[in-house]
Amino acid sequence: MELSKVVKFVAKVPKLIKNEIAVQLVDSFSNPVSLQQRKISLEVRSVNNSGFLAWTFVDNNNGSYTGHYLAKEIGAYEICVSFEDKYLSPCSFWIYVYSSEYFPKAYNDTISVWEDESITFDASENDYFAGGTTSIVTSSKPNHGSLLQYGRLFRYTPYKGFFGNDSFAYTISDINNNSASGVVNISILVTPPQFVSLPVQLQATEDILSPRFGGFYGFEIQYSDPAENISVTLNAMNGRVFLSPMLMQFWQPAWSSLSVDVGEGDGKSLILIGCVEVLNAALQSIQYLGNKNYYGNDMIRVSTTNKNGIHDSHIPVVVEPINDPPFIHVPDFIILPKKGKKDGSLIFDKQRDKFEFSVGDPDHFTFPGNQNLFLISLSMEVNDGMLITNLPSNLINTTELKLKNNYQWQPLQTFVCISKHFLVKVKGVRLRGTIKDCNEAMKQLSYKGGEQGAVLTVTVNDMGNYGCYPDCQESMSVPLVVETTVNLIWRRPLSSFAAHTLGSAIVIEFIMIFFLGALLLFFICKCAFLLGNERRSRYTTDIKPSGLEKFAEPASAADLSRSATYFTACCSSPFLHRSQTSNFRQRSRRQSGTGNHSSQSSNGRCQRIPVTNFIPLSIEMAQRETA
């Protein structure tokens, strides 16, 4: 066992720290000897050894053994290691115990760097060392990057395209030649997605989704991790960004991982989440729609985000204007106060009326130039009566009038200005001015007319203004005209409920009259039908024709008397009975020459009446000619 020895110990150690001693046991042939930890002991030969603790050695299963000790007090300790009562060389050796402030301390560092970028740092900046001076004596080589040392500074550069974790170790030494080691852990972060292709400028049209088909082209993102989900947020300052529905109609199975969402708050943001390949395909279907009636220069902010950060880009958008029609805000009717019938009643009173009485143009709200350059044409005309208004003097050259009993517009020829205003009393007035001037003229408008009121016609012409400035000369369009009518009345019309009630009553009355007329017509027809049936039945019952006589033999009075038949008729009225009897008698006498009187019944109301057999007229004439 002469070859066995103490292979590792530290001469300077701090107190109250567990320190290590390593022993190597070999036989005479230098073969490692195991399972002998109980036979190894640590001895302290110093006088003051009460503050020294030692632990049993531990077998490392390779012939080496590790022991630990701890010194509670500062001082020098003479130590020997024995095996089976034999001391191992060196024996003895001295260990000097110091306070913890005497030794340097190297703390592990953690830094991060973006992929494809370098970082410079001082690893000993957070380390402790006595005397204020230290040096880095050694350092290991990282596995996924290059490391350069400049004194106490390190410069680390990850390999191109690598992202993840890397590390290296270093050792520092102070003025007392004490050393300490630390580890630097490096996180190589994937940079947020960046656009390698981005449109310089986008073109759009006011109030129209642009482009109409498909989307804007030129968007492309580059990202190192093709499998990681990243997000792209698009937000327009004066509009909204949409995803073309064409993408939804021709959805590819590979795009099933794409998530589309809107941002919180106003919901104007479009958020796309997915891998880089899916996002690049989705970005080809981006569409833009500005706010209502917005035109001019807008900006789309595009933010690409991953777990490590965010990257912003801005794309300018030029929104071309279009001509929007003007608008007129007036009610259907206005009730004028009766107290002003003779001198003229103010049509709109701000304190009296709750409705809106004004004109405007949507292009005027976002007009970037001087408001006095945005002009419109306003005309107001009544079919009966006169209009009275007070206009500012700056509208003299642009005011036209329509006089009573005249259908042509005429320029203003005579006027009187008082306090830079002039008064007009005409059937119609037309002026060209700013929207403010036109609204002031409407507020000053009064009506003077008859009892029936009038119809006020208000017409606004936007003069073809796009609202653009200062390039309106190149963007003029066909003027847009809006016209509306207002009924000027002196008394309040029927309410909707009363009108509906009156209309319902009229309808119900018409229906009742119709049914009564139909019922009356039914009974008239029924009575006529019954009377006709009664007459036909009476004629059939009262008159029974006999057989025709021979044409060669004329009928004598005796034959007619013999051939006469009798019938009994019961009449409810004596007068009717007498008249019927008389008629039958007269006809019998005319045909036969003799008449037979019927006998009356016992009650005087029923009688037998002889009735002759009537011969047709043609047969009778033939008989007469033969005779």
Q: Residue 294 maps to which CATH number?
A: 2.60.40
Has residue 519 been placed in a domain?
yes
Instruction: Catalogue the E-assigned strands of 412-500.
Output: 417-418, 421-426, 428-434, 446-448, 454-461, 481-489
Residue 552 within any structural domain of the chain: no
Please state the rounded mean pLDDT for residues 538-552: 55
The total number of structural domains that make up the chain: 6
| Mean pLDDT, the chain, integer | 80
Indicate if 313 and 426 belong to the same structural domain: no
What pTM value is reported for the model?
Answer: 0.57
Whether 421 and 534 map to the same domain: the answer is: no
Q: Structure tokens of 219?
A: 């968007």
Residue 204 has pLDDT above 80, yes or no: yes
Residue 107: predicted pLDDT: 92
Residues present in the chain in total = 627
Separation CA 272–CA 157 (nearest Å): 33
Q: Are residues 478 and 528 in the same domain?
A: no
pLDDT of residue 475: 60
Most confident of 37-51, 157-171, 475-489, 580-594: 157-171
Together in a domain, 88 and 150:
no
| Phi, then psi, of 25 in degrees rounded to 5 | -105, 125
pLDDT > 70? residue 434 = yes
CA Rg, the chain, in Å?
62
As beta bridge partners, residue 353 has none
| Predicted pLDDT of residue 473 | 59
Domain boundary among 189, 216, 251: 189
Which pLDDT does position 623 carry in this prediction?
44
Confidence (pLDDT) at 410:
87
Note whether residue 545 is domain-resident: no
Look up the CATH number of the domain holding residue 171.
2.60.40.10
Residue 219 covered by a domain: yes
Residue 172: pLDDT over 50: yes
**Are both 460 and 518 inside the same structural domain?**
no
pLDDT score recorded for residue 459 = 94
Closest to 552 in 3D by CA, of 483, 481, 619, 485 = 619
Check residues 555 and 522 and name the one with the higher pLDDT. 522
Residues 306-316 pLDDT 10s: 998 899 999 99
Residue 449 has pLDDT above 50, yes or no: yes
Phi, psi of 585 (to 5 degrees): -65, -45
* pLDDT band for position 370 (cuts 50, 70, 90): confident
DSSP 210: B
- Other C-beta atoms closer than 10 Å to the C-beta of 332 total 10
Greater confidence (120 vs 178) lies with: 120
Residue 241 tokens read as 């960004």
In a domain, 549, yes or no: no
Percentage of the chain surpassing pLDDT 70?
80
**pLDDT band, residue 472 (cuts 50/70/90):** low
Name which residue leads in pLDDT, 548 or 165.
Answer: 165
Whether 47 and 87 map to the same domain: the answer is yes
> Considering the chain, what percentage of its residues have pLDDT values greater than 90?
27
pLDDT for 491 equals 76
Which is more confidently placed, 350 or 312? 312
Question: Do residues 26 and 155 both lie within one domain?
Answer: no
Contacts of 42 (CB under 8 A, 6+ apart): 21, 54, 57, 67, 69, 79, 80, 81
In a domain, 452, yes or no: yes
pLDDT attached to residue 341: 60
Quickly tell me which residue has 């001895």 as its tokens. 43
Cα–Cα distance list, 561 to 556, 564, 596, 607 (Å) = 8, 5, 8, 17
Task: Tell me, yes or no, whether 48 and 107 share the same domain.
Answer: no
Q: Which of 176-180, 229-233, 247-251, 365-369 is modeled with the greatest confidence? A: 229-233
Q: Is the pLDDT of residue 318 over 60?
A: yes
Q: Which residue has the higher pLDDT, 475 or 208?
A: 208
149 within some domain: yes
d(CA 274, CA 255): 8
Dihedral pair phi/psi, residue 502, rounded to 5°: -65, -45
Let me know whether 152 and 33 are in one domain.
no
Indicate the pLDDT class of residue 507, thresholds 50, 70 and 90.
very high
Q: Which residue has the higher pLDDT, 51 or 305?
A: 305
Whether 516 shows a pLDDT value over 90: the answer reads yes
One domain for residues 198 and 339? no
Decide if pLDDT at 599 tops 90: no
- The domain containing residue 185 runs over which residues? 103-189
- Distance (Å, whole) CA 121 – CA 113: 11
pLDDT at 342: 63
Give me the pLDDT at residue 68, please: 92
Q: Are residues 442 and 573 in the same domain?
A: no
Boundary (domain end) residue, out of 189, 224, 241: 189
Question: pLDDT-derived band of residue 374, with 50, 70 and 90 as boundaries?
Answer: confident
Residues 471, 524 within the same domain: no
Taking each continuous run of H as one helix and of E as one strand, the counts in the chain are 7, 42
pLDDT, greater one: 444 or 245: 444
What is the per-residue pLDDT for 256? 64
- d(C-alpha 117, C-alpha 110), whole Å: 17
Residue 92 placed within a domain? yes
Pull the structure tokens for residue 8.
């590792």
Which of 464, 489, 514 marks a domain boundary?
A: 489
Summarised one tens digit per residue, pLDDT across range 239-275 is: 999 888 765 555 555 556 788 888 776 778 899 998 9
Burial class (CB in 10 A: 0-12, 13-18, 19+), 341: middle
